[in-house]
A = this chain, B = another copy of it.
Amino acid sequence: MEKVTGTIVSPKGFHGAGMHCGLKKRKKDLGWLYSDVPCQVAGVFTTNLVQAAPVTYTKALVKKGQAQVIIVNSGNANACTGEQGIQDTATMAQLAGAALAIDPSLVAVASTGVIGQLLPMDTMAQGIAKLAKEGSGRDFQQAILTTDTCEKSVVYQGKIAGRKITVAGCGKGSGMIHPNMATMLGFVTTDAAIEQTLLQELLAELTETTFNQITVDGDTSTNDMVLVLANGQAGNPCIQPNTVEYQAFKEILAAVLTTLAKAIAKDGEGATKLIEVVTRGALDDLQARMISKTIVGSPLVKTALFGKDPNWGRILCAIGYSGAELDVNQLTIRLGEIPVFTQGMPMIFSQEDMACYLENPELVIQVDLGDGTGQGRAWGCDLTYDYVKINALYHT
């Protein structure tokens, strides 16, 4: 497989557009993504018990297995908006379906932005009426952003049973148009042919090691959603479980999801650094992931790395309260490749080498529990003055 340039509409038979309709002051706030033919759809959704109307709506749609359109707005999360919010989501689907002459029951809906305000449906209707049928993938990728500082997208290609297939993804991370919470959206398109149940299984499995392993501030949003659309236009024979083709597709999808997850972590609110934690030698993969995610979520580790301080005591402390089993006397911690703690005792290291390493915009913390074969990664970012500023200075 290889990474190629392109956008969310690079896979065969996908189209997209994005525009400013008026939910935000100036930036793009409305977009759609659709396929020439109905797609197998898979989705994963927030585990927050308070779920926005589009989450409830699209979850039900994914259960039925097919979708052809995703309509997305930013600037308003349509969350905690009661019965009216659910009606408004259905109306968005109706309007998008009508405009594209596609069955509205195949239209998925996603929203991100401020909580607790009704969508201005006149504005939405006018926007949907004006949205281009042949727009650009980049416009769509921009329309889903809030205070993200950059677009997040990636395209991979590979061969499956002799056919070139393309998988593209885009996402929005932890920025907010109104800073209400870190809403995450991810969309993936592919022209590969694959059964819906298999696609759903694969997405759920890979989400555990990608999107579920990132954290910016520990707040699980009401609007999180990742959708995959597969339209089969690449012409490969439908991918079957436990085959070489399945393995090849899984690798490509994993690469797309991992790239998006890291990009979202790196662009966390106020972040100056991407922090990756790699844990090895745990009892199992789950424990390794728990440790990695606990470290990368610790405010004390995050502030230390913002301050370029190799404060391994805080890393060790986070490992201790992660809930994973461990023997401190078997434990090794490295910052980059520099050992700072080995088998229960602090290590002496070159302050110069360390200071130099901590200047990097991407830092890796390596933990080895020396206890088993479990491994897992997690990604996050540092905690900075700007995080506090972004989230404290705004007034609802």
A326 within 8 A of B: yes
> Which of B51, B181, B306 contacts A300 (CB under 8 A)?
B181
Instruction: Tell me if A396 is interfacial: C-beta within 8 Å of chain B.
Output: yes
A317, CB-defined interface residue at 8 Å: yes
The digit string for A306-347, where 1 denotes a CB below 8 A from any CB of B, is 111111111011111100011010000000000001001110
- A316–B220 Cα gap in the complex (Å)? 11
The answer for the CA separation of A346 and B82 in the assembled complex, in Å, is: 9
Q: Is A48 in the interface zone, CB < 8 Å from B?
A: yes
Contact B180 A311 (CB under 8 A): yes
Question: Is B80 within 8 A of A392, CB to CB?
Answer: no
Q: A50-B328, A218-B298, A317-B219 are in contact. Are A346 and B307 (CB under 8 A)?
A: no
Q: Do residues B317 and A217 form an inter-chain contact, with CB atoms below 8 A?
A: no
Chain B residue contacts of A51, Cβ below 8 A: 320
Q: In the complex, what distance in Å separates the CA atom of A392 from the CA atom of B305? A: 7
By the criterion CB–CB under 8 Å, are A314 and B385 in contact? no
Task: Judge whether B310 and A396 touch: CB under 8 Å.
Answer: yes
Within 8 A of B (CB), among A30-66: 47-51
Q: Please indicate the chain B residues that have their CB under 8 angstroms from the CB of A217 in the complex.
A: 299-300
Cα distance A351–B22 when bound, in Å? 25
Most chain-B CB neighbours within 10 Å: which of A48, A221, A317, A394?
A: A317
Whether a CB of chain B sits under 8 angstroms from the CB of A158 is no
**A391 CB within 8 Å of chain B:** yes
Chain B minimum-CB-distance residue to A312: B116
Contact status B383-A388, CB under 8 Å: yes
Known A219-B298, A314-B219: A303·B181 in contact at CB below 8 Å:
no
Q: Given contacts A50-B316, A181-B313, A385-B388, is CB(A82)–CB(B303) below 8 Å?
A: no
Residues of B within 8 A of A114 (CB): 313
User: CB-CB contacts of A356-396 with B at 8 A, as 1s and 0s?
Assistant: 00000000000000000000000000011101110111111
Q: Which residues of B contact A79 (CB under 8 A)?
A: 313
Q: Is residue A110 within 8 Å, beta carbon to beta carbon, of the partner chain?
A: no
A283 proximal to B (CB < 8 A) = no
- Inter-chain contacts of A391 with B (CB < 8 A): 299-300, 303-304, 307
- Kindly list chain B residues whose C-beta atoms are within 8 Å of the C-beta of A307: 391-395
Q: How far is the CB of A179 from chain B (nearest CB, A)?
A: 8
A179 CA to B310 CA in the complex, in Å?
12
A141 within 8 A of B: no
Across the interface, A384 reaches (CB within 8 A) one of B309, B328, B388, namely B388
Instruction: Out of B50, B116, B306, name the residue touching A319 (CB < 8 Å).
Output: B50
Which chain B residues border A80 with CB–CB below 8 Å?
A: 313, 316, 328, 341, 344-346
Which A residues have a C-beta under 8 Å from some C-beta of B?
47-51, 79-80, 82, 114-117, 179-182, 217-222, 297-300, 303-304, 306-314, 316-321, 325-326, 328, 341, 344-346, 383-385, 387-389, 391-396
Q: A49-B326, A303-B391 are in contact. List 7 more A-B contacts (CB 8 A).
A: A116-B313, A179-B300, A217-B299, A217-B300, A299-B391, A300-B391, A307-B393
